[in-house]
Amino acid sequence: MVDPVAPSDLVELYRLMTAVRQLDLAAISWQRQGLVPAYAPELGQEAAQVGSALAVDVCRDFVFPTYRELGVARACGVDMVEYMSTHKAIWHGGLWNPAETHVAPIQAVVAGSVLHAVGWAHGQTLDAHGEVPEAGYNVAITYLGDGASSQGDVHEAMNFAAIFKAPVVFFVQNNGWAISVPTEKQVAGGSVAARGAGYGIPAIQVDGNEAAAVLEATRRAVAHARAGHGPAIVEAMTYRRGPHATSDDPGRYRTLDEERADGGTDPLVRLRERILAEAAADAAALDAADASGKAEAEAVREGIMALGSRPGAEMFDLVFQEPTDELLRQKANWQEETDHA
Amino acid sequence: MPETMTAPEPVMDTQPKAQELSLQGALNLALDEILAEDPKALVLGEDVGTLGGVFRVTSGLAAKHGAERVFDTPLAESGILGMSIGLAMAGFHPIPEVQFDGFAYPAVNQIVCQLGRMNYRSRGTLPMPVTLRVPSFGGIRAPEHHGESLEALFAHVPGLKVVSPSDPQQGYSLLKAAARMPDPVIFMEPKSRYWQKGLVTSTESPADVSGARIARPGKHLTLVAWGAMVSRCIQVAELAAEDGIDIEVLDLRWLKPIDAEALATSVGKTRRAVVVHEAPRTSGLGAEVAQIIIERCFGTLKAPVERVTGFDVPYPSGDLEDEYIPNIDRILFGIQRVLEYKRG
Amino acid sequence: MAEIPFPLPDLGEGLIEATVLEWLVGEGDQVERNQPLVEVETTKSALELPSPQSGKVLKLHGAPGDVIKVGEPLIVFEVPDDTAGIVGTVPSEEAPKRRVRLSANLDDD
């Protein structure tokens, strides 16, 4: 029913994870260089993000990310310059086409899009008139963190999903920290997956730093939803190795010793060791993937440097499909004053 | 040697007569004094404890006043507000923080349906002495939902009072005043002014904390503003003086209740008014201010009250925010329209 | 800008000093928290010290071969005073610029 993780999967995971690592590190340095005003690093979450994203098929499924999902977006084929445009403060949500890529825009309210995933998923069952199609339902996957799990919307989403038997996967990256607040002060009981029992939703907690384990668990969850059995929860236990965002100073709330102890072994190092141990690829191939990741990050940097502002008129043009007269009047006035001044 | 190198900013133990503080520092000082003076005062919210708040406004307060009185909550704004209501019912004086203006939206149910109504619903037996601090407005090139202007939304809700300081002194005085009130106050801190420094004097005079204030006297036209727009309007007034136009800047401070007397006095003198706000134009607070002016000064107005505002669009990304927030030229255009208005 | 000094930390097991082997960063470099800063040697072993702080390296104390005692200055960082909030940037306070001039006949005021 679910494809076992093959040696080729491991290599593909590595190829994507090393690219994501390079992009993530580069994005932090871009902020330091003044190229982007802010960035929310996902360092340490590469296995959780890439492993889960590889389990969905964006030709048919739909992905609802948070603002810390560079790895998911990259694995889903989102153009990385268009992705970074939101961090360059060009356009809230990013410049990629969510309708075509099946990756929803970035939005900043934690848990804000979890219910959207449930709605999209329910739409798939409505379209199928309750008959599970031969190829199964299209599946929504929604990303949330341990912090977001505190929001009431997450309860509503899980309850709705179970009630409507919606084909949605709740993918929780429990990365240990919501800005300065650790999971033990955030998640009563210590596990978001444990809540699944209350809703009758099958849930699994997985080592989020073990890419293959994440891929396999998410494949199972997606298969469950696809087959018409309703929602599933995957909680990937991982670690936010970096700051909450580039202006955050983790030294105010955790020590380096704690970071090192709790961060465990780098997920990229673990995957590399496994690939070499299982001879899925040789070191030269992995080194080549690393080099390719670095080159990609450099190309994205050039793309971001070249990325210009959006015209101010778009502020007005993109509010509605059918703009109001008052909005058009404001736009005309804005244009006149801009030109005249 | 601890690896944690960044010590929390010290909280002042004694309060000198006047001191140079940033708005962040002035608010921190006010909270420190409120917690010291009022044993029932509590500070709660996301990251307000150990971290000291994302803008460091609560820095050092947990260490000084205890982790029971200054505490981190789980990440849920509706939870923070709902719990504050319950704490107020239990006799506490909560000072919750929502981290950014846009994150007040998830708490709107508790703010609008509960906080603003509990006194009324309980026939005055369950007052709500809750001061909700909201880092507000734009100007810092932040992500989405980190630059909203919610004053009209909150001012529209019965049972809520709304105030916005424009500088460190106002921040200190108004926060102390708000925290002493027996009713809910939405305290909108202009985040683009957090780092602005100014002289702060401790004050106990009601005149220092109630109603509007004249931020700059003038005789030809009144600019009405609040929050971060006050300093911009003062800049505009200085520029207008180069052209021989003497502008009065009225810092409204309280957005509910609005100081109608101060508006009438100022515009009664200048006979011209322009309201400036960052919030979208339609149903913005500028309309309310204009109507109050019309009611009080209709006979003497030389021109219709002009509004220079944000647009009816979602607050844009940092790259476009200078196009959105009323800039100096747009305010000058608005002033010029009023100056050249001809009746008939 | 604030200067944050970082003294040689207690390396444990009663060690009181260490010898600088090699600096992995230079003055003026922007470093990240946890980035390797320096290789030092104690009587027990050679080890790499990670940066406790992100910031700009203002000054390095001790050349390769120098002995530094625990608690003595090792490195000084420079960090901005006006740190922004967790997101966003501190607005620059520049002189107001205008392109629009006012004109009015205020004779009848």
Domain with residue A306: its CATH number is 3.40.50.970
Beta bridge partners of A173: A145, A236
Say if the Cβ atoms of A250 and C33 lie within 8 Å. yes
Contacts of C62 (CB under 8 A, 6+ apart): C20, C68, C74
Q: What is the pLDDT of residue A244?
A: 94
Instruction: Tell me the three state secondary structure of residue A84.
Output: helix
Tally of domains in chain A: 2
Beta bridge partners of A10: none
CB pairs under 8 A between A and B: 129
Instruction: Tell me the three state secondary structure of residue A250.
Output: helix
Q: Looking at the complex, does the CB of residue C93 fall below 8 Å from at least one CB of chain B?
A: yes
Determine whether A11 is exposed, middle or buried from the number of CB atoms within 10 Å of its CB (0-12, 13-18, 19+). Answer: middle
Q: What is the pLDDT of residue B8?
A: 47
Look at residue A31 and tell me if it is in a domain.
yes
Whether residues A325 and A244 share a domain: the answer is no
Cβ contact C92:B196 at 8 Å: no
Distance from CA of C39 to the nearest CA of B (A): 17
Closest CA to B105 of B154, B72, B42, B155: B154
Nearest CA in chain A to C89: A37
Annotation says A239 is catalytic: no
Helix (H) or strand (E) holding B296: helix B285-297
- Residue A180: is its pLDDT beyond 80? yes
Instruction: Tell me the three state secondary structure of residue B343.
Output: coil
- DSSP readout, B27-76? HHHHHHHHHHH-TTEEEEETT-SSS--TTSTTTTHHHHH-TTTEEE--S-
Torsion angle of C-alpha atoms B324, B328, B334, B340, degrees rounded to 10 = -160
Peptide bond into C64 cis (omega under 30): no
Give the separation between CA B102 and CA B291, rounded to whole angstroms.
28
Whether residues A187 and A101 share a domain: the answer is yes
Q: Which of B65, B93, B145, B146 is catalytic?
A: B146
Closest CA to C19 of C44, C55, C52: C44
- Residue B227: is its pLDDT beyond 80? yes
Q: What is the pLDDT of residue C11?
A: 76
Two tokens, residue A8: 């080729």
Nearest CA in chain A to C85: A247
> Identity (one letter) of the amino acid at C11?
L
Look at residue A81 and tell me if it is in a domain.
yes
Which residues on C lie below 8 Å from A245 (Cβ)? Answer: 86-87
Look at residue A219 and tell me if it is in a domain.
yes
Annotation says A240 is catalytic: yes
Q: Which residue has the tokens 């400036």?
A: B276
Strand runs labelled E in chain C: 2-7, 17-23, 30-31, 36-41, 46-50, 55-60, 67-69, 73-79
Whether residues A243 and A221 share a domain: the answer is yes
Residue from C30, C87, C89, C92 whose CB has the most chain A CBs within 10 Å, to mutate: C87
Instruction: Tell me the three state secondary structure of residue B206.
Output: helix
Whether residues A275 and A325 share a domain: the answer is no
Cβ contact A269:A207 at 8 Å: no
Give the pLDDT band of residue A246 (cuts 50, 70, 90): confident
Cβ contact C51:C33 at 8 Å: yes
Please give the average per-residue pLDDT across B30-38, as a whole number.
Answer: 97
Please give the average per-residue pLDDT across B78-82, as a whole number.
Answer: 98
Between positions 319 and 338 of A, the ones with CB within 8 A of B are: 319, 324, 326-327, 330-331, 334, 337-338
In order of B78, C34, C42, C77, the CA distances from C62 in angstroms are 54, 20, 15, 15
Closest CA to A168 of A192, A139, A196: A139
Q: Are strands B18-22 and B70-72 parallel, antiparallel or unpaired?
A: unpaired
Whether residues A88 and A120 share a domain: the answer is yes
Instruction: Tell me the three state secondary structure of residue C3.
Output: strand
Cβ contact A181:B47 at 8 Å: yes
Determine whether B263 is exposed, middle or buried from the number of CB atoms within 10 Å of its CB (0-12, 13-18, 19+). Answer: buried
Give the separation between CA A182 and CA A303, rounded to whole angstroms.
36
Give the pLDDT band of residue C15 (cuts 50, 70, 90): confident
Give the separation between CA A191 and CA B119, rounded to whole angstroms.
38
Provide the greatest CA pair distance for chain A: 69
- Residue A118: is its pLDDT beyond 90? yes
Which CATH class, in words, describes the domain spanning B213-339? alpha beta
Contacts of A83 (CB under 8 A, 6+ apart): A70, A73, A74, A94, A96
Q: What is the pLDDT of residue C1?
A: 65
Its pTM stands at: 0.92
Give the separation between CA B184 and CA B163, rounded to whole angstroms.
11
Give the separation between CA B38 and CA A246, rounded to whole angstroms.
37
- Residue A338: is its pLDDT beyond 70? yes
Two tokens, residue B46: 């996301």
Angle at C97 between CA C95 and CA C103, to 5 degrees: 130
Whether residues A106 and A140 share a domain: the answer is yes
Closest CA to C79 of A249, A33, B60: A249
Q: What is the pLDDT of residue B151?
A: 98
Give the separation between CA A47 and CA C95, rounded to whole angstroms.
48
Q: Which residue has the tokens 């401070």?
A: B253
Helix (H) or strand (E) holding B135: strand B131-136
Whether residues A193 and A330 share a domain: the answer is no
Whether residues A237 and A339 share a domain: the answer is no
Say if the Cβ atoms of C87 and A247 lie within 8 Å. yes
- Residue A71: is its pLDDT beyond 80? yes
Q: Which residues of chain B have a Cβ shorter than 8 Å from any chain A Cβ?
A: 2-6, 8, 46-47, 49-52, 54, 72, 74-76, 78-79, 102-103, 105-106, 141-146, 281-282, 311-314, 316-320, 323-324, 329-330, 333
Give the separation between CA B248 and CA B245, rounded to whole angstroms.
10
Give the pLDDT band of residue C55 (cuts 50, 70, 90): confident
Structural domain including A327 reads: 312-341
Just give the CATH number of B19-206.
3.40.50.970
Nearest CA in chain A to C101: A341
Cβ contact A22:A289 at 8 Å: no
Q: What is the pLDDT of residue B14?
A: 52
The count of other CB atoms within 10 Å of the CB of residue A23 is 24
Give the pLDDT band of residue B5 (cuts 50, 70, 90): very low
Per residue in A194-208, pLDDT (tens digit) is: 999 999 999 999 999
Closest CA to A259 of A173, A182, A144, A191: A182
Say if the Cβ atoms of B244 and C83 lie within 8 Å. no
Instruction: Tell me the three state secondary structure of residue C6.
Output: strand
Chains in contact with B, where contact means 3 or more Cβ–Cβ distances below 8 Å, are A, C
Fold of C2-79: OB fold (Dihydrolipoamide Acetyltransferase, E2P) (2.40.50)
Residue from B114, B278, B317, B331 whose CB has the most chain A CBs within 10 Å, to mutate: B317
Whether residues A254 and A327 share a domain: the answer is no
Beta-carbon-side half-sphere exposure of residue B183 (alpha carbons within 13 Å): 13
Helix (H) or strand (E) holding A32: helix A7-32
**Interface pTM, i.e. ipTM:** 0.94
According to CATH, where is 3.40.50.970 located in chain B?
Answer: 19-206
Beta bridge partners of C20: C40
Say if the Cβ atoms of C93 and B143 lie within 8 Å. no
Determine whether B204 is exposed, middle or buried from the number of CB atoms within 10 Å of its CB (0-12, 13-18, 19+). Answer: exposed
Annotation says A260 is catalytic: no
Closest CA to A313 of A294, A295, A293, A330: A330
Between positions 264 and 323 of A, the ones with CB within 8 A of B are: 309-310, 312, 314-316, 319
Per residue in C22-43, pLDDT (tens digit) is: 999 999 998 887 788 999 998 8
According to CATH, where is 3.40.50.920 located in chain B?
Answer: 213-339
Whether residues A198 and A339 share a domain: the answer is no
Give the pLDDT band of residue B230 (cuts 50, 70, 90): very high
